[in-house]
Chains A and B, each alone.
Chain A
């Protein structure tokens, strides 16, 4: 059996590695905001709703990405613009968008004449199927998301940390929140290609959750979660290659093992009695 490195001479594997690295960079950065601002459920909702757009595109015989992007963005802006007091249950609204998107997607996929697409590919992703064109789309999306974040970084951090104070300082809080949700939506679309709809949230949150346990200041957390994201994506791909496992679940499971390990190590260190010796200040 050829080793993973040997196999990198195949284009499909090189594409997968590049897509994985790009996606992880995005996850690390956007995912940190998802975790600290507690937007995981929203992200999950956007991811599932986007399936509606993908199903319609499949029916029409065009690139599913073309449907996923506008639907994900529309969901993000709906969730950003809706008045929370009028809607009463924001959670329920997310749940409804989620279910309606999935339902629309399944109906259109079912009605697609001829060859029925493999639903598993959408739900659990297959990074090994990423084409050169997908890769280009991922690159464009990733660069635009990161550029927007870089440009508005100061404001987005302020809104994520303390919305009320940001408003007192005269910031356009709603606009910045909409921008953040929009970036989450685009990231989600990219991640669907890598790990599929169902696993998007895991890839979006696991690296940041681990990073937040290890580091305290924002810059370290962001860099840390990018590094962890790249690590588990590449590691997952190697596992997938060596043991013939589906790539998305392999990435997520490796991340989950790392998360549990870091959590366990932190707990053990905390429960150990503090040493009275000088020079051991943690």
Chain B
């Protein structure tokens, strides 16, 4: 990571994304947390090579959480909100991360369960889900829908159906809802 290793950063991202997103939970009604999260992750990439370890765990994750919260506060204020910035809450979160192990990616058992449920999806919801997965967050939904021969609203409805069907399938398979909650 220190040398700008994209592979190492990708492995870090796999575990780091969820806790940073979770730290933005209180801003969900005030700012577009997806945009804030991506901006914070880009800043983490820029800062990683010169980040000085402080002897505690998860220095880059703690930086990214703080960056995300600061960006969210700025965006919320710009939009005229009184941002729900709770410094004590943030300090507790950062202290917890400083003592925790490295962030982990998806659990292998959960991955198998989700893959099995995906196989059971009806064709159009599955096509919509696969289309968005294939777009990798760099292509607008309208372009993905057009490629699949769906109207945008039909595509979005199929995505909703796919996610609901996956969650229902996982529930039946005994996967606790908390596994997929922020």
Bind each other = no
Interface residues of A (CB under 8 A from B): none
